[in-house]
Chain A
Amino acid sequence: MALLEVENLRTYFYTRAGIVRAVDNVSFTLEQGETMGIVGESGSGKSVTCYSLLGLIPRPPGRIVSGSALFGGVDLLSCPKEQLRRIQGKRISMIFQDPMTSLNPYMRVSDQLVEPLLVHDRMSRSQALTKAIASLEEVGIQDAANRINLYPHQFSGGMRQRVMIAMALISRPEILIADEPTTALDVTVQAQILELIRQRQKDLGTAVIFITHDLGVVASFCNRVNVMYAGRIVESAPTDEIFNRPMHPYNASLQQSIPALHKKGQALFTIPGFPPDLTVEFHGCPFASRCAHAGDICKEQDPALKQIVPGHKTSCIRFQCGEIADVRSKNFVSAV
Chain B
Amino acid sequence: MIAFILLGALTLVGAVITVAARNAVHAALGLVGTLLSVAGLFASLSASFLAATQVIVYAGAIMVLFLFVIMLLNANAPVRGRDPVPFVRELAGIGGVVLAGAFAVLAFTYKDPRPLAEGVAATRGGGAGPVGEVLLTRFLLPFEAVSILLLVAIVGAVALVNRPAPQPDGVADTGGLTLPTSPDLQSEALLPEKVRA
**B is a partner of A:** no
Residues on A lying within 8 angstroms of B by beta carbon are: none
